[in-house]
Amino acid sequence: MPPPRFACFAIALPLYRVFEYAIDNKAPVIVGARYRLPFANGIKTGVLLNASEHSEFDPARIKPVLEQLDQHAILDEHMLALVRWMSDYYLQPLGEVVFQCIPGYLRGARAHHPLRVKRWRLTAADADLIDALERRSPRQFEICQALRRQPDGLTAADLKQINPHWHAVMKALQAKQVVRWEWIERPLSSQPSAKLPVLSDEQHGVLLDIESGLDRFAVHLLDGITGSGKTEIYLRLIADRLAAAMQVIYLVPEIGLTDQLIERVRSRFGDCFALSHSGLTELQRYQAWDRFRRGEVSIMLGTRSSLFSQCDRLGLIIIDEEHDHSYRQEDGVRYHARDVAIKRAQMLDIPIVLGSATPSLVSIANCARETYFRHRLDQRPTRYPPPPLQLIDVRNSRFDFGCSAQTFARVEKHLQQNGQVLIYLNRRGFAPVVMCHECGWQALCRNCDSRMTMHQSVQTLLCHHCGAKQAIPETCAECGHQEVRHYGIGTEQLEQGLRQRYADTPILRIDRDSIASRDALKSRLRQLQSGEPCILIGTQMIAKGHDYPAITLSVILDADQALFSASYRSSERLAQTLFQVSGRSGRGDRQGEAILQTRFAEHPLMQALARRDYRVIADDLLQERRQLGFPPYARVVIFRADAVELKAALAKLDEIKALLQPARGFAELSCVGPMPALMTRRIGRYRAQLCLLAQDYQLLRSVLAQTMPEIQQIPGSSRVSWSIDVDAYDL
């Protein structure tokens, strides 16, 4: 019997190592395939990384694999190279990165089967027999006529549109041998629409510039004001790639908010796209991944994790709203989808397009360094430009559910003119503070350093960080006083107040509490599409991805809190949000208006928001970042620890710092901590952090390269765990 071969496997564990097993020499070795492996006293699923005839360990002690799960690799050579780069760059365990890049459906031991679809066709039955059905069985005849028009056949979805009770009809037709069915591996695509909107001269120029470089790697930043037609340029670029028999990955921040986009893609390209987002089941997301992998669809449209969809002919990556924070994964394997997408495009020598009306400061800085190509769209196809942001000074003003008299006057003016009004308030619930008027006691979360938010509709106090719930107190928990009041306003209270004030006007609320499903969201947005006067209330869910021409007024409430945030990114986020929200209005045939309530109208940032466009503000913020030595002019790595006691988390970081300090170049870095995190206690655990900053990225990587082998040996446990965050989003 020939000796076994030895193979290294990646297993989804928070360990910086791979695991070696023996494979029978008679069995095929498929790099990138999954295997069932004995592990400790149980069984794990591993992905094969490489194989060899020799091992540095005692062969007698190496366990054999149990079972090969896949006949073909689920991670191809390119994806394995990307996985290794991610593991190295973000300093994450290779096994966890590997399993991050495959569908959740395949992370266990499930079999990997291609998607099959039933398709019904007419048999060579006598045409007179079918014609005779018109009088005797109109329902059977209706389906036969549809099948006559579609020689390639119809799927169950097609038949359901013809007759919701098609099962019984088809059973009768099969008994008469009029129809038959067969398995196919995919439904055929519907025919796309040939009618294309006319491009403006500006759009046409940008499209030509990008198209001239579609045969090589380049990062294109499409910097276009809200409503300037960025999506149409994306679609034209996709059409170019599809005509060249290439495939495209199209990422958006939140797929649930982009039904308009889905319909535009469908009308333009038929059904040759797959959809993947967190609202789908694991099976549905796997099926989308599999169809794209096998080339059955040419477009993968989805959120962050869709970046890891693989195929043989990828020709373009598009990242819409590239500034959006949701592209950053903050737990588990920490990475930024935008940056990984750029690396993937570079590895494949293909272009990538980043688009936004409010580009991130990182992308703008890269354009200044000439590592990105910047393309600007400064005009809307409609007659009116985005409205300037008008400040309403509400100092000493009387409020009704968060709105001043001046705000109500603007709202009523637009409703009377048959306009739609959008009111942005990034705080869900009824009220953010519940406290005793007598002693000052506040309802705080037992698990987190945060206040409980009052949700009146369900008579509950809810922590928005850990999900803890408790009943709304009738008396003070400290002094027993009965005068417990709520302060502040959330979207629930705003909706309630507006319904009382505008009883004859539809009030629509869109936030996580009011939208239980994608169908519920569609129902609300359908009212906007009607163009009838209404008021739309919402959180960040309404700040992006919408194009409703009837909105003529955008109102922003309670944005002042961002002026005093501890995050160095707060000014950037505030500017992006306000310009995105204000840009929702005036997209139709009427001039829009945007107003911002503030108690700090004289604040320099507020003045800048009212007087300048986003690009000027971004340049000012970049100058400020340069002076302070903050990203994008410095790189940040944060070690984080959490434990059941704060001192244990700090001690773990002290241990890491002790390993860093002897490294060559450490003294030239800025090292802050260990110290408690901004929100020290969350979900019952105490959090601390150790921050490294350096303007010289190579110096920072050198220090980490010297020390990470030892740091990676530091064990974690259920009582104390630690992680590393490269290019951390916040300090």
Count the Cβ atoms, other than its own, within 10 Å of residue 612. Answer: 16
Give the pLDDT of residue 554: 92
Query: pLDDT tens digit string along 104-145?
Result: 888 887 776 666 677 888 887 667 778 788 888 888 888 888
Count the Cβ atoms, other than its own, within 10 Å of residue 261. Answer: 19
- What's the mean pLDDT in 155-174? 85
pLDDT confidence of 190, banded at 50, 70, 90? very low
- The C-alpha angle 571, 355, 331, rounded to 5 degrees, equals 60
The DSSP letter of residue 387 is P
- The mean predicted confidence, pLDDT, of the chain is 87
Q: Match 């992998």 to its residue by tokens.
A: 293
Candidates 88, 58, 63; CA nearest to 7 is: 63
pLDDT confidence of 249, banded at 50, 70, 90? very high
Q: Which CATH architecture has domain 201-377?
A: 3-Layer(aba) Sandwich (3.40)
- What's the mean pLDDT in 696-706? 92
CA distance 728 to 371: 21
Query: pLDDT tens digit string along 707-717?
Result: 999 998 888 77
Is CATH 3.40.1440.60 what the domain over 5-106 is classified as, yes or no? yes
Helix 259-269, helix 230-243: angle, nearest 10: 40
Q: What is the CA radius of gyration of the chain?
A: 29
- What's the mean pLDDT in 654-683? 91
Query: pLDDT tens digit string along 476-501?
Result: 888 888 888 888 889 899 999 999 99
Supply 666's token pair: 């450490």
Using the predicted structure, report yes or no on whether residue 189 has a pLDDT greater than 60. no
The DSSP letter of residue 592 is -
The percent of residues above 90 in pLDDT, for the chain, comes to 40
Using the predicted structure, report yes or no on whether residue 719 has a pLDDT greater than 60. yes
Give the pLDDT of residue 520: 64
The CA–CA distances, whole Å, from 500 to 494, 505, 507 equal 10, 10, 10
**H or E element in which residue 180 lies:** strand 179-184
pLDDT confidence of 188, banded at 50, 70, 90? very low
The domain spans of the chain are 5-106, 117-184, 201-377, 389-429+489-627, 433-487, 635-726
Supply 73's token pair: 């690799």
Using the predicted structure, report yes or no on whether residue 521 has a pLDDT greater than 70. no
Candidates 437, 438, 472; CA nearest to 458 is: 472
The SS3 call for residue 648 is helix
DSSP characters over 197-221: PPPPHHHHHHHHHHHTTTTS-EEEE
Fold held by 389-429+489-627 = Rossmann fold (3.40.50)
Amino acid found at 568 = Y
The CA–CA distances, whole Å, from 159 to 28, 328, 618 equal 43, 42, 53
Give the pLDDT of residue 187: 45
CA distance 322 to 562: 21
- What's the mean pLDDT in 609-615? 86
Give the pLDDT of residue 196: 83
Give the pLDDT of residue 2: 56
Phi-psi region of 447 (alpha: psi -120 to 50; beta: other; left: phi over 0): alpha
Query: pLDDT tens digit string along 352-392?
Result: 999 999 999 999 999 999 999 999 998 887 777 888 889 98
Give the pLDDT of residue 546: 66
Contact 452/490 with Cβ under 8 angstroms? no
Query: Which neighbouring-strand residues pair with 76?
Result: none
Candidates 479, 476, 450; CA nearest to 464 is: 450
- Looking from the CA of 532 toward its CB, the CA atoms found within 13 Å total 10
Reported in sequence order, the residue ranges of 340-464 that DSSP labels E, i.e. its strands, are 351-356, 373-377, 389-393, 420-424, 433-436, 453-455, 460-462
DSSP characters over 133-151: HHHH-HHHHHHHHHHHH-T
Superfamily of domain 635-726: Ribosomal protein S10 (3.30.70.600)
Supply 224's token pair: 């276009």
Using the predicted structure, report yes or no on whether residue 614 has a pLDDT greater than 50. yes
b/e map of 316-336 (b: 16 or more CB within 10 Å)? bbbbbbbbbeebbbeeebbbb
pLDDT confidence of 313, banded at 50, 70, 90? very high
> Between these two residues, 135 and 214, which has the higher pLDDT value?
214
Query: pLDDT tens digit string along 330-350?
Result: 888 999 999 999 999 999 999
Using the predicted structure, report yes or no on whether residue 604 has a pLDDT greater than 70. yes
CA distance 362 to 622: 9
Give the pLDDT of residue 4: 62
Give the pLDDT of residue 114: 61
pLDDT confidence of 235, banded at 50, 70, 90? very high
The DSSP letter of residue 457 is G
Give the pLDDT of residue 258: 62
Contact 322/338 with Cβ under 8 angstroms? yes
Supply 114's token pair: 């291609």
> Between these two residues, 582 and 110, which has the higher pLDDT value?
582
Candidates 477, 448, 482; CA nearest to 462 is: 448
Q: How do 335-336 and 328-329 pair as beta strands?
A: antiparallel
The percent of residues above 70 in pLDDT, for the chain, comes to 94
CA distance 517 to 522: 9
Contact 105/285 with Cβ under 8 angstroms? yes
Candidates 262, 368, 427, 357; CA nearest to 584 is: 357
Which residues, 6+ apart, have CB-to-CB distance to 393 below 8 Å?
598, 599, 601
CA distance 582 to 578: 6
CA distance 108 to 415: 54
- What's the mean pLDDT in 446-470? 89
Contact 121/153 with Cβ under 8 angstroms? yes
Give the pLDDT of residue 54: 77
Instruction: Write down the pTM of the prediction.
Output: 0.86
Count the Cβ atoms, other than its own, within 10 Å of residue 43. Answer: 12
